[in-house]
């Protein structure tokens, strides 16, 4: 069981959800079973933040995190940092909060380019990938939560060779259209 401490009063930085009786009101932490039997994380759906940085030569790099092996569907695959949407949040607010909890502070001056929504079951569960440009590409190794083994900035060519989390792999062409990198 996760315990709360002064540095992490919600218990979320630990990467493990609190038991139902200890969750803040409106917490999205929890499993949803869809009509087809799939079980997905996030009582109100889920959201993540995909960041792109362009260096001085205009070369694009995207930030991905490697999911810890113990995380549902993790298997050491690379994914977008994200998680459950709380009842009071919109997808962008949830993606920003989850990014901060899992990876660290998002660089200032970020600019939202668009949102891709994957609807698993209408009215029941969706995943929102928020796509944003940032002017900095910080290293996040020191601020990762236990849900991630690593976070790195990758070129498109490098991403082609990564083991991507299956839902990200399916969404990738849609996300690249948002970024205009298709």
pLDDT tens, position by position, 20-76: 566 577 999 999 999 999 999 999 999 999 999 999 999 999 999 999 988 877 788
Per the listing, tokens 């901060």 go with 100
Share of the chain above pLDDT 70, in %: 86
Identify the pLDDT of residue 5: 36
* All structural domains of the chain: 12-179 (3.90.79.10)
Average pLDDT, the chain: 88
Sequence-ordered list of residues with C-beta below 8 angstroms from that of 86, at least 6 positions apart, any chain: 24, 26, 27, 28, 44, 94, 97
- pTM, full prediction: 0.86
Which structure tokens are listed for 121? 């079951």
Report, in angstroms and rounded to the nearest whole number, the Rg of the chain calculated over CA atoms. 16
Which structure tokens are listed for 94? 């949830």
* Residue in 158, 106, 157 with CA at minimum distance from that of residue 134: 106
pLDDT tens, position by position, 155-180: 999 999 999 999 999 999 999 999 99
Per the listing, tokens 């399916």 go with 170
Identify the pLDDT of residue 145: 92
pLDDT classification of 1: cutoffs 50, 70, 90: very low
Q: Rounded distance, CA 43 to CA 47, Å?
A: 12
pLDDT of 8 strictly over 50? no
Contact yes or no for 24/81 (Cβ under 8 A): no
* Residue in 16, 56, 37 with CA at minimum distance from that of residue 125: 37
In sequence order, the β-bridge partners of residue 118 are: 127
- The helix/strand count (H/E) of the chain reads as 3, 9
- Give the single-character DSSP code of 181: -
pLDDT tens, position by position, 85-134: 999 999 999 999 999 999 999 998 899 999 999 999 999 999 999 999 99
pLDDT tens, position by position, 124-154: 999 999 999 999 999 998 899 999 999 999 9
């Amino acid at each position: 069981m996760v315990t709360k401490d002064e540095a992490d009063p919600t218990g979320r930085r630990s990467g493990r959800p609190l038991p139902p009786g200890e969750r803040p009101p409106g917490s999205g932490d929890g499993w949803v079973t869809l009509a087809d039997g799939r079980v997905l994380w996030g009582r109100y759906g889920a959201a993540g933040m995909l960041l792109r940085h362009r260096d001085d030569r205009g070369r694009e790099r995207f930030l991905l995190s490697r999911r810890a092996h113990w995380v549902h569907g993790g298997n050491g695959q690379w994914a977008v940092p994200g998680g459950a949407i709380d009842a009071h949040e919109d997808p962008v607010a949830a993606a920003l909060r989850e990014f901060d909890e899992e990876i660290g502070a998002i660089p200032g001056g970020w600019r939202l380019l668009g949102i891709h929504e994957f609807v698993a079951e209408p009215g029941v569960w969706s995943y929102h990938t928020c796509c944003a440009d940032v002017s900095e590409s910080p290293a996040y190794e020191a601020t990762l939560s236990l849900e991630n083994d690593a976070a790195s900035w990758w070129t498109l060519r490098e991403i082609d060779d990564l083991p991507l989390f299956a839902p990200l792999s399916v969404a990738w062409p849609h996300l690249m259209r948002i970024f205009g990198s298709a």
